[in-house]
Amino acid sequence: MGRYVARRLLQMIPVFFGTTFLIFFAVFTLPGDPVRALFGDRRPPQEVIDAIREKYGLDDPFIVQYGKYMSNLFQGDFGVTLQGRDVLDVLSEAWPISIKLAVAAFAIEVIIGIVAGVLAGLRRGSFIDNLVLVSTTIVVSLPIFVIGFTVALLIGLPLARNGILPSSGVGGGWRSYVLPGFVLASVSLAYLARLTRSSLSENLRSDYVRTATAKGLPRSRVVIRHTLRNSLIPVVTLLGVDLGVLMGGAIVTESIFNIPGIGRTIFQGIQNQEGSLVVGITTVLVLIYLFATLLVDVLYALLDPRIRYD
Partner 1 sequence: MRGGVARAVNGVSYTLNPGETLAVLGESGSGKSVTAEAIVGILDSPPGFIPKGEVRFRGDNLLALPEARRRQIRGQHVAMIFQDALSALNPVHTVGSQIGEMFRVHRGMSKADARKRAIELMDLVRIPAARARVDDYPHQFSGGMRQRIMIAMSIALDPDVLIADEPTTALDVTVQAQIMDLLAELQRERNMGLILITHDLGVVADVADKIAVMYAGRIVEEAPVHEIYANPAHPYTEGLLASIPRVDMKGQELYAIKGLPPNLMHIPSGCPFHPRCPYRRDDVCTTKVPPLYDVGPARGSACHFWEEVLDGSNR
Residue ranges binding partner 1 (CB under 8 A): 205-208, 210-218, 221, 225-226, 229-230, 303-306
The sign of the dihedral angle between the CA atoms of 140, 23, 278, 175 is positive
Q: Which residues pair with 86 in a beta bridge?
A: 80
DSSP 307: -
| Shortest CB 229 distance to partner 1, Å | 5
Instruction: Quote the least distance from Cβ 294 to partner 1, whole Å.
Output: 22
Assess contact for 76 and 283: CB atoms under 8 A: no
Q: Closer to partner 1 at the Cβ: 27 or 212?
A: 212
Looking at beta carbons only, is 44 or 234 nearer to partner 1? 234
Of the two residues 158 and 218, which places its CB atom closer to partner 1 in the complex?
A: 218
Minimum Å distance from CB 303 to partner 1?
Answer: 7
Tell the smallest beta-carbon distance from residue 299 to partner 1 (Å): 13
Question: Which has the closest alpha carbon to 254: 157, 191, 179?
Answer: 179
Closest CA to 20 of 273, 282, 262, 269: 282
- CA-based nearest residue to 244, from 295, 305, 177: 295
Closer to partner 1 by CB, 155 or 217: give it.
217
Taking the complex as a whole, how short is the minimal distance between the CB of residue 309 and partner 1, in angstroms? 15
- Least distance in angstroms from the C-beta of 230 to partner 1: 6
Beta bridge partners of 80: 86
- How many residues are given for the chain? 310
- Closest listed residue to residue 251, CA positions, set 269, 238, 239: 269
Q: Kindly tell me which of 85 and 229 has the beta carbon lying closer to partner 1.
A: 229
Residue nearer to partner 1 on the CB measure, 7 or 215: 215
Which residue's CB is nearer to partner 1, number 43 or number 219?
219
Alpha-helical (H) ranges within 56-163 are 62-73, 87-122, 127-141, 144-150, 157-161
**153-to-26, 145, 149, 156, 179 alpha-carbon distances in Å:** 37, 12, 6, 6, 11
What are the CA-CA distances from residue 241 to residues 147, 188, 236, 244, 246 (Å)? 22, 10, 9, 5, 9
**Rounded least distance, CB 212 to partner 1, Å:** 7
